[in-house]
């Protein structure tokens, strides 16, 4: 019985290794295609923008923009710069998301299947 289980275990390991190598080859093939590489580059670009943009927006509005608005208008909302700067950071993320959706819709209109027809 132990030898039977050992053979089954060996066969399963071989099949899993073959499946992993096949999956790795397929991923390499997909990554080498120009459209996939372009999509991955776009995803990385927008992911970085979603990290960097709110940080920069928060720090810039905390140190410069909100104090300037408070001096100019003097409202209670602008009295606490943390809240207002956080809202500006949230707004900047929403802008990045809208830009990503717009670029995806534009790219979808330029797909090779539609160009052939």
Non-local CB neighbours of 62 within 8 Å, separated by 6+ positions: 81, 82, 85
- pLDDT tens for 80-110 read 788 888 999 999 999 999 999 998 888 766 5
Q: What is the pTM of this model?
A: 0.59
CB 96 within 8 A of CB 52: no
- pLDDT tens for 12-65 read 777 777 777 777 777 677 666 667 778 888 888 999 999 999 999 999 988 888
* pLDDT at residue number 33: 65
């Amino acid at each position: 019985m132990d030898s039977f289980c050992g053979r089954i275990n060996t066969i399963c390991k071989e099949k899993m290794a073959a499946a992993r190598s096949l999956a790795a080859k397929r991923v390499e093939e997909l990554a080498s295609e120009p459209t996939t590489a372009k999509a991955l580059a776009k995803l990385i670009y927008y992911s970085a923008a979603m990290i960097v943009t709110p940080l920069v927006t928060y720090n810039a509005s905390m140190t410069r923009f909100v104090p300037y608005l408070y001096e100019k208008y003097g409202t209670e909302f602008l009295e606490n710069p943390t809240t207002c700067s956080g809202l500006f950071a949230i707004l900047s993320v929403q802008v990045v998301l809208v830009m990503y959706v717009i670029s995806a819709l534009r790219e979808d209109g330029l797909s090779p299947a539609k160009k052939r027809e």
